[in-house]
Chain A
Amino acid sequence: MSALADWPVVFALPALVILAGLTPRAARVLPQAAAALMLAQLLVVFNVCRPAFARAEGSVGDLGIGGLTAAFLIITTIVAAASFVQAAALLPAERADAPEQGITDRRLCFFYTLAGSFLAAMYAVLLSHNLGFMWISMEATTLLSAPLVYYHRTQRSLEAAWKYLLLCSVGIAFALFGTVLLVAAQHASGEGASLLFGRLIANGSALDPRLVRLGFVFCVLGYGAKAGLFPLHNWLPDAHSEAPAPASAMLSGGLLNCALVAIWRVAQVTQAAGQGHLVRQILVPAGAITVLAASLMLLRQSDLKRMWAYSSVEHVGLLALAIGVGSTPVFILHALNHSLVKVALFLLSGSIIHVYGTKSLPKLRGLLNVAPAWGIALFAGAFAIAGSPPFGTFLSEWLLLRDTFAAGEAVAGGAVILGLTVAFVAISIHASRVLFGAAPPSVLRRPREAWVAAPAALLLAGLVTGLALTPPAMRFLTMLALGGQP
């Protein structure tokens, strides 16, 4: 029972979705069935993860669940469940309303096969406590999600898919070099090289510091490209804006976290080798610059989904900063808050784009008149992603700033405050233009207000994480981050 109830179980329901997607005859029922399966998956994953909450990351074998893994498995599953629920509404409607796109049964079903495999690959990244397995799974996420970006078969989406595939593969090649350097760093230890996270941490003092430093730099370059750290973020807005909304949501709310978890693991190894100062010297400025650069780019956006993509870059900067100053509980908390809100926004934007027939910001006006419920949700989401109270994002950003200043990184802290302010202004301007004013005559279709359900549930959860952040909740996060009872 115990072996069966462990990590392999998380792959069961995604495997069903993958297989069902291979039969085009399932097209009529597959969207609803997949959504139901993913909602059930929430329960499965939570039950598998519950015994692991207090397990230290270093005590896990090649594949397994520790406290941090459990947190991110749950976040990724929430993201996937919401995306699949929205996909069940959006994708069939899109197909029926826009026959000129020529979306066949086969393509619709293949979307589910790819999305299910992509989810499984993300699970594999999180479960891998072997840096080699982690690399293999990470490359698999790129290969499986690039075709998702090309779902609409437009020239732009093809170009975005190519850019994504190439830049991330090159980036990830750097991470492979970094991983090999970490193996080479074990030349002094007698018992042969290992890529096991726990072993690397335990033998940290026997690692060659010179090669560990190089390995860390290459891994940050590689996984940083995948996470979208400035200036390696180039592919991210294209891929996230051209993909269909449920895929954008999974890329933004799931995959970015996976890349950051990879950086977190390598940072832990580097720290164990006595090179913690390097982690800080690299990740703190990289995070702060990313926040600042992304917020400046947010100002001049003319595309709704690109705007949320740049906002994801900004939050990746914040998360990298959290890893840099070594506050893992805040890293987990902010990743959760960002994923909840950003997924809600991407899913909502998919519906808005469907109704307006464009994603160009200057043409999106008067959402509160067109679809009041969607408007209110977008208002709340924009407010939350900009880091306003009482949403969870406000608290996690505040805690992150507190830890940044406590770590003596005042310059980075100042830059982040400036960046967050600019981002707040930028998002408020763009969102208010979408919300208010008269609806343009070009609105194509009548909105279906029920489509707000999944985003609204996510935003509600994002509100609860803000309101329920009591001292026991903080202690629970610390337990997840450090393993064992604090």
Chain B
Amino acid sequence: MHLSTQEYIAGTAAVLAVWMCGLTQVRLALRGLAAQTALLAVATAALGLERHAPYELLLAAVVLVVKAGAIPAYLAWAAGRLDIRRDAGALLSPTLSMLAGLGLLATGFFLAPRFATPASGHAGMAGMALALVFSGMLLMLTRRLALSQLIGFLVMENGIFLYSLTQTAGMPMIVEMGVVFDVLVGVLVAGLVIFRLNRSFEHIDVTQLRGLRN
């Protein structure tokens, strides 16, 4: 089977997500996130060149600067300030979590034909997008720290972005930009809440937040 450049790029992004499932070091996970998002920006730019769509190039630049640059940098800064190094994980050990990530990759490919559009000719891409969405959810479920859950959310969002990139003829640009803006503001607000959590509870371990259970 011959793989196109874009499929290589998207495949690498999906493998990065599986790798991130097995990480305990927050700093490495953030680098994984930045690399993965940068790959998606490259894929967007490649597609823009192929389709001769200048807007896609603009989108690629915004994704590169905001989602691959500013957001991971902000989170890394927050992790430094809060002195967070490791997330031991809850529910599943990192090894098991990585294995589960591999399973989700396979599931993504298994489900891909249901999600792929016939026109795109990239059924495999839908599989990788789904794998990203699923691993993001897995990350959110199996992490202990509020910050890592945020990383999971961003991986999930990357999956949705990859799907819209490869399976649609392009979302309206203003909508894409609005989504990037919402994600940016969301991460900023969530970061502020994490600082408050740390100040108020002296930890950001979400499994230890149980004041509201009744």
Taking Cβ atoms with an 8 Å cutoff, the residues of A that contact B are 130, 132-133, 135-136, 139-140, 142-143, 146-147, 150, 155-156, 158-163, 165-166, 169-170, 173, 176-177, 180-181, 183-188, 192-195, 208, 210-211, 214, 238, 242, 302-303, 306
List 8 A-B pairs, Cβ < 8 Å: A130-B172, A135-B179, A147-B189, A159-B211, A159-B212, A162-B209, A193-B168, A210-B114
The number of residue pairs between A and B whose CB atoms lie closer than 8 Å in the complex comes to 127
Number of interface residues of B (CB under 8 A): 45
Would you call B212 and A156 a contact (CB within 8 A)? yes
Would you call A162 and B182 a contact (CB within 8 A)? no
Which are the 5 A-B pairs with shortest beta-carbon distances?
A132-B175, A136-B178, A187-B119, A180-B164, A187-B117
The binding surface of chain B is classed by DSSP as: helix
- Residue of B with least CB distance to A182: B168
- Residue of A with least CB distance to B204: A162
Would you call B179 and A136 a contact (CB within 8 A)? yes
Would you call B167 and A169 a contact (CB within 8 A)? no
Q: A136-B175, A192-B169, A210-B114 are in contact. Are A176 and B160 (CB under 8 A)?
A: yes
Would you call A162 and B212 a contact (CB within 8 A)? no
Would you call A170 and B160 a contact (CB within 8 A)? no
| Residues in B neighbouring A176, C-beta threshold 8 A | 157, 160, 179
Would you call A155 and B201 a contact (CB within 8 A)? yes
- Residue of B with least CB distance to A134: B175
Would you call B193 and A165 a contact (CB within 8 A)? yes
| Residue B153, interface by CB 8 Å | yes
Query: What is the distance, in angstroms, from A162's C-beta to the closest C-beta of chain B?
Result: 5
| Residue B214, interface by CB 8 Å | yes
Query: What is the distance, in angstroms, from A140's C-beta to the closest C-beta of chain B?
Result: 7
| Complex: A160 Cα to B194 Cα, angstroms | 13
Would you call B186 and A158 a contact (CB within 8 A)? no
Q: A163-B212, A184-B167 are in contact. Are A158 and B175 (CB under 8 A)?
A: no
Taking Cβ atoms with an 8 Å cutoff, the residues of B that contact A are 114-115, 117-120, 133, 137, 140, 146, 149-150, 153, 156-157, 160, 163-164, 167-172, 174-175, 178-179, 181-182, 185-186, 189-190, 193-194, 196-197, 200-201, 206, 209, 211-212, 214
Would you call B179 and A170 a contact (CB within 8 A)? no
| Residues in B neighbouring A242, C-beta threshold 8 A | 212
| Complex: A247 Cα to B201 Cα, angstroms | 24
The 8 Å CB contact of B118, one of A181, A187, A238, is A187
| Residues in A neighbouring B163, C-beta threshold 8 A | 177, 180, 184
The 8 Å CB contact of B156, one of A173, A211, A214, is A173
| Residues in A neighbouring B146, C-beta threshold 8 A | 162, 166
- Residue of B with least CB distance to A136: B178
Q: A133-B175, A187-B118 are in contact. Are A193 and B169 (CB under 8 A)?
A: yes
- Residue of A with least CB distance to B163: A180
Would you call B212 and A238 a contact (CB within 8 A)? yes
- Residue of A with least CB distance to B157: A173
Q: A132-B178, A133-B178, A147-B189 are in contact. Are A184 and B117 (CB under 8 A)?
A: yes
Would you call B193 and A161 a contact (CB within 8 A)? yes
| Residues in B neighbouring A136, C-beta threshold 8 A | 175, 178-179, 181-182
